[in-house]
Amino acid sequence: MCSQDAVGGQVLSELFTNRKENIPLHFSEDCLYLNIYTPADLTKNSQLPVMVWIHGGALVVGGASTYDGLALSAHENVVVVAIQYRLGIWGFFSTGDEHSQGNWGHLDQVAALRWVQDNIAKFGGNPGSVTIFGGSAGGFSVSALVLSPLAKNLFHRAISQSGVALTAALFTEKVKPVAELVANLSGCKTTTSAVMVHCLRQKTEEELMETSQKMTYPFLPTVVDGVFLPKTPEEVLAEKSFNTVPYMVGINKQEFGWILPMLMGHQLSENKLDQKTAKSLLWQFYPILKIPENLIQVAADKYLEWTDDPAKKKNMFLDIFADVIFNIPSVMVSRGHRDAGAPTYMYEFEYRPSFVSNMRPKAVIGDHGDELFSVFGSPFLKDGASEEEINLSKTVMKFWANFARNGPKSSQGSLPYGKSKVLPLPSRSRKSATADALETLQRDSWDNCHSSELTDFFRPRLQTPVRAQAGREELDSGWALSLPESQQRYSTGAIPRPPLGCGGSSLKTPKVA
């Protein structure tokens, strides 16, 4: 695996691996390798769909070996390729000029896709049918590759799981402060870019790792480099100048439910959060949220002050993070793709894998990364899965593979288990009366319950219906979730999630013709 914090890398691997046994990991700068999984009955003329997996880990940890592609490949008759790319300082250090343009890890991803085009036929894969898919920072990378001119014609479909190119923590336009921080922590002068880069290149792998470990948030983000990304993701989306391949974007029900607070060292008790602690944590997480500083207090007041119930307050607090980091960006990117004419689908995953049940509070269902156990067939590789979990994994693998095989045409009719399906994002020209009614409801609710400052911040980014109470009928303006009936909860669209109405009152489902 690529150079990274050894403890963090091992912990992440053990949390998300679909392997029966944890494997010891080895880290090195010599890491640009990939793993290929193929069905056993290949022939010379096999032309199977290819699914290229890009791992997550905030662009600082993670690796290909965490994920065993055996079950997905064998069950769905596809070729699975898991790639690696440089991380942290090695993969994303940038001075914003010719001395260190940055995005080296993304260039590794492009190189891997070029390798697939040149060589995958020898492994029974079809270079004309390549789907890239990734989770978290891997989903962010997939989204960035869709926007990059360098990756054009290297893949034909894309799936982003809990991460897109507008995920603020993984992208910055302010390059110099990050570069100078790395240089200062490494004992390098910051007089010029050339001086910084020359000094850092003299450092050993161990010294650079020590620098990374000194950083409070060791994120070295993606930047506009003029090569991989010619402009900001927002600008590329607005100009519609990207690869308009069929695209599926997903989020999980509780993206900030347990694992991310735990990894960041802020594990919350299951049923307690007071206003003072919530505000303190918002300020601590400011570098990740990237809400304007003047809105931190406003967000805390408007999200949290409507209830004194500590459990509800905690859930609303977690919703702020889920909405800002994952949910709002995912809908924004999806709408950008839809408006550019790309077939665009969204899903929401809500299931509690048995493999993590002993680690987290019972109330957390659909945490960040939970879909990985179904996508990679964990019930077929690990012990203890229920029949329901096995069937769910079959359903999810079938859906992912059919999307890779033929795009959205085959996927929507391929979910035999329960009432599961994923809904397309309606085009602007065909918006239904239901969608209009819900958007009106959302705008009125948001304006009535939130200050003008918050409205001005969120509305340009997203205007969709708020998420309503459990039991709302399935509506065509949102998306549903691939789940067995016993766990089925339809989501009708709907992010951000401010309090339902003002002062805790519920919203009513609008009547539409």
Backbone phi, psi, residue 374, to 5°: -80, -40
Cβ 188 vs Cβ 195: under 8 Å: yes
> Within 13 Å and on the Cβ side, how many CA atoms surround 71?
25
Specify whether 26 is catalytic: no
Three-class SS of residue 37? strand
Q: What is the DSSP letter of 327?
A: I
Output Rg (C-alpha) for the chain, integer angstroms. Answer: 22
State the burial class of residue 190 (Cβ atoms within 10 Å of its Cβ: 0-12, 13-18, 19+).
Answer: middle
Q: What is the DSSP letter of 186?
A: T
Catalytic residue among 55, 76, 143, 255: 255
Catalytic residue among 3, 100, 129, 136: 136
Sheet of strand 79-83: strand arrangement? 34-37, 79-83, 48-54, 125-135, 157-161, 247-252, 344-349, 423-424
- Structure tokens belonging to residue 448: 């009535």
Separation between Cα atoms, residue 108 and residue 138, nearest integer Å: 13
Q: Are strands 79-83 and 157-161 parallel, antiparallel or unpaired?
A: unpaired
In the block, residue with structure tokens 């519609």:
240
Cβ 371 vs Cβ 135: under 8 Å: yes
Separation between Cα atoms, residue 146 and residue 140, nearest integer Å: 10
The amino acid present at 30, given as its one-letter code, is D
The amino acid present at 414, given as its one-letter code, is S
**Of how many residues is the chain composed?**
513
Question: DSSP per residue over 82-150, as a string?
Answer: EE----HHHHH---SSTT----HHHHHHHHHHHHHHHHGGGGTEEEEEEEEEEETHHHHHHHHHHH-GG
Specify whether 156 is catalytic: no
Three-class SS of residue 294? helix
Catalytic residue among 55, 106, 156, 368: 368
Nearest to 306 by CA among 480, 15, 459, 503: 503
Specify whether 136 is catalytic: yes
Give me the active site residues, please. 136, 255, 368
